[in-house]
Amino acid sequence: MNAKRNLNTLILILLLLTHTAFAAEPSLHPYTDPSADGVDRSSLTGKVMCGYQGWFTTTGDGAEIAWWHYGKKGGFSRDNCGFDLWPDLTGFDPDERFNTDFRFADGRTAQLFSSQIGKTVDRHFAWMQQYGIDGVFVQRFATDTFAPETLQHLNTVLDHCRAGANQHGRAYAVMYDLSGLQAGQMGRVIADWKSLVDQMKLTRDPGDKAYIHHNGKPVVAVWGIGFNDHRKYTLAECAAFVKFLKEDPACGGCTVMLGVPTNWRTLDSDTVKDPQLLEVIQSADIISPWTVGRYTSPESATRYAQQRMKPDLDWCRLHKLEYMPVVFPGFSWHNLNPQSKSDQIPRLKGKFLWTQYIQARQAGATMIYQAMFDEINEGTAIFKCTNSPPVGSGCVFLGNEGLPSDYYLWLVGQSQKMLNGKTPATADVPLRD
């Protein structure tokens, strides 16, 4: 009896240790696959995929770093913030709302959400399902994987996105952002991808139906290759990362998308003057030139599409590559960079964004990267933002042009239909019933 009792005790201890070890890793949610309502996750063709930052934290949300990306250097206060649009939390539950020192005009305490909260991320994916948005590229800043507190948040949000995409029939994929990476650190990024495959079984879990594939392979995006803003990592290191993602026997076999500068093809303006960039691009599968801020009006967006995007697409067809242009609703980062003016690129009640979709379709684009779902820092967010932000502080917030807070979710959904020929490609912004 004592031997049996000791054996049972030992088994119990081992089970507890196993549970503790597993809990330290990103959790694996039970998934549901609502195929009747779900998007086709076997291809990027015809898809509108949003960038999803997921980098917002508060106090009391379980994250190890407070008010991340709501504040900036010097902390987060009524006179020091790093975002220009205030999220609309109408309908959010009490456990998703976190008090700030800001006040609305009627004296109420202004509240913000945290990406650390699974219910909130799930809510975002429910919106995508409601409005017909296909999914997201979950942003994973390479340098944030180096510190335990930021890595914890990245893994938590990625896990939330995975669960939300499966629950609501959406698609998701990882997008590494190499910004800030130093020379010689690409191996650490490779190690991070290995950890996602080994620990979260990313792209390998048969129960995860939401990870998007293209041409039979899981998609991984790598953003920040070829920019001439004095990045320390080299094109040779980028080439090695692409090769790993495509060819590694254990963690490779991926379709690789590269986020590159606007002028990648001609190697000028925002692009390094190095022909090796074109070699790296040709080793990948899809390219996505970053155009946020490169044009500022419907007219200049049209010129860009005709003079730059169309030749880009022709080049890609010639070299058997695919092309995913970037569109954005407007731009404003005054609170993050006070030297810039507020509402730097006006949204024009959807005209600016709709024009980009129309022009991309006319140029021949078959997939779109929508910048961004939740990027309130640079004023490119399409999720629900309020027309009545807090007042009486040192920060300057934009409203939503008097439009319903969900207007840009709706408009992107309409744009997805137009891209796929389900609604007319008219020059005028569609009217909402």
pLDDT tens per residue across span 229-269: 999 999 999 999 999 999 999 999 999 999 999 999 999 99
Q: What is the mean pLDDT of residues 289-302?
A: 98
Asked whether the CA dihedral 126, 49, 284, 151 is positive or negative, the reply is: negative
Q: What is the mean pLDDT of residues 157-170?
A: 98
Question: Does position 152 have pLDDT exceeding 60, yes or no?
Answer: yes
Stated as kind and residue range, the H or E segment containing 51 is strand 48-52
- Strands annotated E in 17-150: 48-52, 98-103, 109-112, 135-141
Give me the pLDDT at residue 433, please: 85
The token pair that represents 277 in the structure block? 């960039």
* Percentage above 70 pLDDT, the chain: 91
Q: Which residue's entry shows tokens 């995975």?
A: 162
Compute the C-alpha angle 222/33/134, nearest 5°: 45
CA distance 305 to 300: 9
CA distance 196 to 245: 13
Q: Residues 316, 373: contact at Cβ < 8 Å?
A: no
Displacement of CA 73 from its chain's centroid (Å): 23
Q: Residues 237, 181: contact at Cβ < 8 Å?
A: no
Q: What is the mean pLDDT of residues 74-103?
A: 97
The token pair that represents 40 in the structure block? 């086709």
Q: Give me the residue spans of the domains in the chain.
A: 43-55+116-328+359-382+400-419
Amino acid at 165: A
CA distance 112 to 380: 17
Q: Which residue's entry shows tokens 């800043």?
A: 141
Largest CA distance in the chain: 84
CB neighbours (10 Å) of residue 397? 24
Give me the pLDDT at residue 74, please: 85
Question: Does position 33 have pLDDT exceeding 60, yes or no?
Answer: no
CA distance 160 to 152: 12
DSSP-assigned letter for residue 136: E
Q: How confident is the model at residue 353 (pLDDT cuts 50, 70, 90)?
A: very high
Q: Residues 70, 96: contact at Cβ < 8 Å?
A: no
Q: How confident is the model at residue 37 (pLDDT cuts 50, 70, 90)?
A: low
Question: Does position 3 have pLDDT exceeding 80, yes or no?
Answer: no
CB neighbours (10 Å) of residue 133? 28
Q: How confident is the model at residue 117 (pLDDT cuts 50, 70, 90)?
A: very high
Contacts 24+ apart (CB under 8 A), 265-274: 265/311, 265/312, 265/315, 270/227, 270/228, 270/229, 270/294, 271/226, 271/227, 271/228, 272/226, 272/227, 272/228, 272/235, 273/228, 274/226, 274/235
CA distance 330 to 351: 10
Compute the C-alpha angle 346/304/264, nearest 5°: 115
pTM of the model: 0.92
Q: What is the CATH number of domain 43-55+116-328+359-382+400-419?
A: 3.20.20.80
Asked whether the CA dihedral 272, 275, 276, 279 is positive or negative, the reply is: positive
**Dihedral class, residue 177 (left if φ above 0, else alpha if ψ from -120 to 50, else beta):** beta
Q: Residues 84, 129: contact at Cβ < 8 Å?
A: no
Give me the pLDDT at residue 8, please: 40
The token pair that represents 348 in the structure block? 């024009």
CA distance 172 to 203: 11
Amino acid at 337: N
DSSP-assigned letter for residue 345: B
The token pair that represents 224 in the structure block? 């920040």
Give me the pLDDT at residue 36, please: 44
CB neighbours (10 Å) of residue 195? 17
